[in-house]
Structure 1
Amino acid sequence: MLGAVEVFRDLTEVKRLEEEIRRMHTLAALGQMAATVAHEVRNPLGGIAGFAALLKRDLKDNPQQRKLVEKIIEGVSSLNNIVTALLNYAKPVNRKSERINFLGLMDRIVGFFEGSLNIHSAKADKKIVLKKSYQSDCIWCRADPEQLTEVALNLLQNAVRANLFMPFFTTKQNGTGLGLATAKKIVDAYNGDISVQSTPGKGSTFSVKLPCE
């Protein structure tokens, strides 16, 4: 007796994982390339900044040309900030295991950020309100408070700007586009998860999940 058996498998999840792996390899390669370029760019930037500073000193009797040189110095400083951000992004996250009160840390971060809300509100031409809601009095976790502060501040700053985790995307004139990408990199290093849900015309909700004690 002859027969045939057909086996069907849903490869949707497999293909999604393969695509995610390819994307991660691409981003890793881009990060490495960006770091190499950043190293090569930093030395000439230092030379430009030095010569511009000397030129500014020699033009003390020519205010008009001195202002032009100041623009050069500002541009070099902006480029140097981008180079620094690229180098930092290309570095692996150095995980530190320090027992911290997560909610206490969030209170300090929110308190710090509240001081700049008026500036953000003026730029956005609308009132920005920051609200806190905790479901527990205390949550302990092991992490680097400085790294978690960077994650939280990047998310808060992004709340009045763009909503993408892809590196090098920015809507800010002087931004590097690495804020959310860096936040995701830090969260991933602690075996956490960060995601976003957006509703057109209403806003976005960011969720960060980290292992706690």
Structure 2
Amino acid sequence: MKRKKNYIDVERKVITKQGMVKWVESSVSLIKDTNEKTIGAVEVFRDLSEIRELETRLRSADKLAALGAMAASIAHEIRNPLNGIEGFSALLGRDLDESDPRKKLVKNIIHGTKNLNKTITELLVFARPLRLNFKNSSISEILDKALFFVTEEIKQKGIQNVTIRKEYGLDMDGLKCDPEKLQQAFLNLCLNAIQSMPSGGNVVVFTRSYGNDEPEGIQVGIRDTGIGIKNEVIQKIFDPFFTTKQDGTGLGLAIVNKIVEAHNGKISVESQENKGTAFYVNLPVNCDYECETFGSRWENNEFLVSQYL
């Protein structure tokens, strides 16, 4: 008012009583009487919180797109020599007797290149936008396929004293989704559950509806009786590159979370140390998806490598 000027769309930083910072936009108009004398002013505020949040998300999306392009370029440059190393090592190992001490060294080389290939693949899956192929599917059928591979994994690794029980509680469990992506997500969660039970235990896979008054969607739960997750790390398990295993990349659960969110779903976890962990995946049945897709330059044969927490 001292300057006797109007101010339009001026951004201001406001600190609330709770200590939170809010950005607002204000416009000030002077009030004058018939003699053009300033007798007051009107200031209108507009909350910019939502706009700032959208801008932050947009910047994050741009960074992720750049990361995806960079990862694809690096993967191409690294994978070719890796495949050559693995191939030549396999040929070398074929010519060596089992009693030859060099045979073990060759096996270590092959194992190392496969692990590195796995890490590169997971980085690509996480960094690139997902391409979802929506189909009318059945959750129980998707889970059955995932559990088939879980059973095969148990047999191949000779895991003992692990039982898997299915508790499907829905007669109608159809929804529009990408069944292959969800299958990989459920497979990952089930393998994590088994990995958390080194002395054996029980895994329960169940389905039920969720919602307040009316069912809003399908909830898939995967509950184990394993070692559980420590309270100090449970909030970090979906963060990229966070892992509690020495040989983990920390991308497994981040990718699972990405797949669920791409279906407009939510994933949550409950855990108690030495008692077990339960993951809950909520998937809406009726939803219009707005999913990101690859450009035409991306391959259509990406797959999700199982990752243990």
Q: TM-score, normalised by structure 1?
A: 0.72
Distance, in Å, in 1 between the alignment partners of 2:61 and 2:142 is 31
Distance in 1 (alpha carbons) for counterparts of 2:42 and 2:165 = 61
The yes-or-no answer on 1:175 pairing with 2:248 is yes
State whether structure 2 residue 91 is matched by structure 1 residue 71: no
What is the one-letter code of the residue matched to 1:95?
A: L
Q: Which amino acid aligns with 1:28?
A: A
Amino acid paired to 2:74: V
Q: Which residue of 1 aligns with 2:70?
A: 33
SS in 2 for 1:3: strand
Task: Give 3-state SS (helix, strand or coil) of 2:181's partner.
Answer: helix
Structure 1 residues 18-38: Cα deviation after superposition (integer angstroms, max 9, x where no partner): 333333333332232222111
Residues 27 and 137 (structure 1 numbering): CA distance in 2 closer, same or farther, change over 3 Å? same
Q: Deviations over 1:67-122 (max 9, x none)?
A: 11211111112112222333444554333232222234335545654776898x98
What's the counterpart of residue 105 of structure 1?
142
Deviations 1:136-165 (A, max 9, x none): 321211223222211222233445477633
Q: 1:106 to 1:43 in 2, by over 3 A?
A: closer
- CA–CA separation in structure 2 for the residues paired with 1:145 and 1:92: 17
Q: Which residues of 2 match residues 168-207 of structure 1 at below 5 A?
A: 168-190=241-263, 192-196=264-268, 205-207=279-281
CA distance in structure 2 between the partners assigned to 1:176 and 1:28 by the alignment: 20
Distance in 2 (CA, whole Å) between partners of 1:54 and 1:97 is: 42
Change (3 A) 1:128 1:16: farther
Unaligned runs of 5+ in 1: none
What is the number of equivalent residue pairs in this alignment? 208
2:282 alignment partner, one of 202, 208, 212: 208
Residue 182 of structure 1 aligns to a residue whose secondary structure is helix
Aligned-partner Cα distance in 2 for 1:203–1:10: 40
CA contact (8 A) 1:166 1:181 kept: yes
| Whole-angstrom CA distance in 2 between matches of 1:79 and 1:189 | 27
Q: When you count helix as a share of all residues, which structure comes out higher?
A: 1
| One-letter code aligned to 2:123 | L
Contact 2:134 2:179 in 1 (8 A): no
Task: For 1:183 and 1:93, locate their aligned partners in 2 and report how far apart those are by CA, in whole Å.
Answer: 12
Q: Is the 8 A contact 1:187 1:210 kept in 2?
A: no
**Structure 2: distance between partners of 1:107 and 1:53:** 35
Question: Which residue of 42, 45, 54 corresponds with 1:5?
Answer: 42
Q: What's the C-alpha RMSD, in Å, of the aligned pairs?
A: 3.7
Indicate the SS of the match to 1:177. Answer: coil
> What is the CA–CA distance in structure 2 between the aligned matches of 1:177 and 1:132, rounded to whole Å?
30
Counterpart amino acid of residue 282 in structure 2: V
TM (norm. structure 2) is: 0.53
**1:170-209: CA deviations, max 9, x gaps?**
333433333233333333444x122435577585654432
* SS state at 2:41 partner: coil
Cα separation, partners in 2 of 1:104 and 1:127, compared to 1, 3 Å: closer
Letter in structure 2 aligned against 1:208: N
Q: Which runs of 5+ in 2 are unaligned?
A: 1-32, 34-38, 197-228, 288-309
More strand by proportion, 1 or 2? 2
Query: What secondary structure is seen at the aligned counterpart in 1 of 2:40?
Result: coil
